[in-house]
Structure 1
Amino acid sequence: MAGFGNALRLSSEFIAGVAVGAGLGWFIDRMAGTSPWGLIIFLLLGFGAGVLNVLRSAGQIAEFGAKPPAGGKGSDRK
């Protein structure tokens, strides 16, 4: 059951990123009259943000600014 909850959380984070991007793009198109370019650009940005959020939540990539573990690659120990 924990795996199902994790999958639901990850999928909702991805869908939220895409939906927010599409909503912002639609709003900008309405205000600026640039249809459909704002929607296309922000939909792609939302897709990228959704993928990035899923990868962060799944632990596949480190948080920005996180320090690497001590003694790993690049260490000056001999």
Structure 2
Amino acid sequence: MATTSPPADTRPTSVSSVVGSSMKGLDQASIMGMELMAAVVVWAGIGWLVDGWLGTTPWALVIGALIGNAAGLYLVFLRGNQMEGYRDLPKAKDLVQAARDRQIHGR
């Protein structure tokens, strides 16, 4: 009994290609989470050291954690834009110049 394989266009995609594409997304998500966590830990640590130096417990620690959170979220934002390909969008100054050109030339 000979078995025939389905035509090439109806074959399911290979497991390795499906797993590879989902692992790439998982890799990016885990990197984003680690960047956020590292930024908070580093800046909170800096705040803790400043608290020990100045004796202002816990204010520098809190401020450091807030700065770390903001920095981490900014890094997540940048990584998300890279994943979506937004870095290829025109810069704001180019958009402003195009708007000025339209206004001057009446287009």
Q: Normalised by the size of structure 1, how large is the TM-score?
A: 0.79
1:44 counterpart (46, 60, 66): 66
1:25 to 47, 51, 56: 47
- Runs (4 or more) in structure 1 with deviation over 2 Å come to 66-70
Q: What is the aligned counterpart of 1:58 among 63, 66, 80?
A: 80
Q: What is the aligned-residue identity percentage? A: 36
Structure 1: segments with no counterpart, 5+ residues: none
Aligned to 1:7: 29
Q: Which position in structure 2 is the counterpart of 1:67? A: 91
Unaligned 5+ segments in structure 2 are: 1-22
Cα distance between partner residues in 2 of 1:68 and 1:32? 42
Relative contact order: is structure 1 or structure 2 higher (C-alpha 8 Å, sep ≥ 6)? 1
Q: Secondary structure at the match of 1:34?
A: coil
Structure with max Cα Rg: 2
| Paired residue total | 74
As a proportion of its length, which structure holds more helix? 2
Residues of 1 paired with 2:92 and 2:62: CA distance? 37
